[in-house]
Structure 1
Amino acid sequence: MFTGIVEVTGRVESLMFREGGARLVLKVGPMAGELSLGESVACNGCCLTVTDFDGAAGTAAFDLLIETLRVTSLGELKEGSLVNLERSLRIGDRLSGHFVQGHVDTTAEVLVLEKVREDHQFTVELPQAWAALVVHKGSICVDGMSLTIAQLEEDRMTFWITPHTFAVTNLAALSEGGMVNLEFDMLAKHMQRLVSLGR
């Protein structure tokens, strides 16, 4: 379980594709010395398991399954790409974002990313298959960031990004036309399921 509050950004050291998936190695800096094997880390919002780490080198490795590559944008990462990182929530931690499982539902295209005075307007495609799960002023996890929907249209969601969020996440490395991971609110998904079953 995560909160969508990015702790640090890492950089892709390598992404090696192989039969059955891929192996992702990230430069995570001092975080590497705090990790343990089998620990969960949200990487651009996708819950991944630490399969290796090197505190001296500041790296951590994760194995990506075929399903992970199919559902997320992680397979499009390049050497040097910025990745949002968040370690799992501990009991007693403050919940500054919202409950995030790290189970990416789909990807979406970045439609607008531009500076407006001191802030940034960030507009992302809203896939129609998931449109019923979002509301104006509701929360959604975008590339591991808990964001509030400031403007909701039929085919898009707009967020306003503060200078702090822009500085400490991968947003500065994103561009219009790029893809981001989306995870919709888990309570909304459970409610939709119950309604569809007529319970």
Structure 2
Amino acid sequence: MFTGIVEEMGTVVSLEERDDMPLWDGSTGVGTELVVEGNVVMDGAYLGCSICVSGVCLTATELEPDTNHFKVGLAPETLRKTYFSELKAGDAVNLERASEIGGRNSGHFVQGHVDGVGVVKERWIDEDSLCYQITVENPDILRYIVPKGFIAIDGTSLTVVDVNTEEKWFSFMLVEYTQKKIIIPGKQPGDKVNLEVDVLGKYSETALAALMPRLEALEAKVETLEKKLAQKE
């Protein structure tokens, strides 16, 4: 679990597809490996630890303390849901270590499980704030995005400003302090961002979906009883 409060901006060292990735049965297979350089996230890092890279929870498979490099594997599902297949050496990425139990959370509950990709539609300045409008084509994502709700964009916990479901976009703003700490200000119209909606909204929807049949059945019974009572009167 993460908070969406980015600790540092790291740098992509390499992204390559390998055909010698070790599998559970001792054989080898094809896989994608990402190498990232980061300073803060290497403090306390250990093999198997989780590091959030631009919104994606990834497992450290190799650590190189001398160079502050760490390696992670990218599953096919990760490549399908994110823009990571387009990363190249030198690209900046947001980095955050996993949350400590009992620690403060200045953002929101971020799983690092990206729901999909958005595209920067517009970018403008409002006094000292930097504002963005993001297009989201997938309605399964858009229905969880609400004005003044939480959303993680490239792993950054942000507040939604406006939502237009007909035109399929939402907007957010970055205060002056945040602009200097994350990679989003470098995004221009046409660039992609990783999106993770508030998981509490998903849980609420699932709980309500389980409850609705019971409510509908109860309403039907009440309606039947009211009709019988009306007939007797």
What TM-score comes out, normalization by structure 1 length?
A: 0.94
Backbone CA RMSD of aligned residues: 1.5
Letter aligned with residue 197 of structure 2 = F
Aligned to 1:145: 156
CA-CA distance at 1:135 after TM superposition: 1.5
Tell me whether 121-130 or 34-43 shows the greater mean CA deviation. Answer: 121-130
Counterpart of 1:168 in 2: which secondary structure?
Answer: coil
Instruction: Give matches, 1:42-53, under 5 Å.
Output: 42-53=52-63
Sequence identity (%): 36
Q: How far 1:93 sits from its partner (Å)? A: 1.2
Q: Say if 2:86 is the partner of 1:73.
A: no
The structure that has the greater radius of gyration is 2
Q: Unaligned stretches of 5+ in structure 2?
A: 20-29, 213-233
What pairs up with 1:83-98 in 2 under 5 angstroms?
Answer: 83-98=93-108
**How many Å separate the matches in 2 of 1:33 and 1:183?**
26
In the alignment, what sits opposite 1:56? Answer: 66
Tell me if the contact between 2:41 and 2:95 (Cα under 8 Å) persists in the aligned partners: no
Residue 157 of structure 1, aligned match among 162, 170, 173: 170
Give the CA deviation at 1:115. Answer: 2.7
Contact 2:147/2:161 (<8 A) preserved: yes
**SS across alignment from 1:31:** helix
**Equivalent residue for 2:14?**
14
Aligned to 2:126: 116
Counterpart of 2:228 in structure 1 is none
Secondary structure at the aligned position of 2:143 is classed as helix
Q: Unpaired runs of 5+ in structure 1?
A: none
Partner of 1:134: 145
Distance in 1, matches of 2:35 and 2:183, equals 17
Q: How many residues align?
A: 199
Higher relative contact order (CA 8 A, sep 6+): 1
1:176 is matched with: 189
TM-score by length of 2: 0.81
2:162 and 2:43 map into 1 onto residues whose CA distance is 40
Do the aligned partners of 2:8 and 2:40 also contact (CA within 8 Å) in 1?
Answer: no
Cα distance, 1:56 vs structure 2:
1.2
For 1:10, give the aligned amino acid.
G
Shift of 1:197: 4.0
Cα pair 2:154 2:184 within 8 Å, conserved: no
State the AA in 2 paired with 1:142.
I
Distance 1:93 1:60 in 2: 25
Instruction: Answer yes or no: is 1:107 the counterpart of 2:117.
Output: yes
Query: Is the contact made by 1:33 and 1:55 (CA closer than 8 Å) also made in structure 2?
Result: no
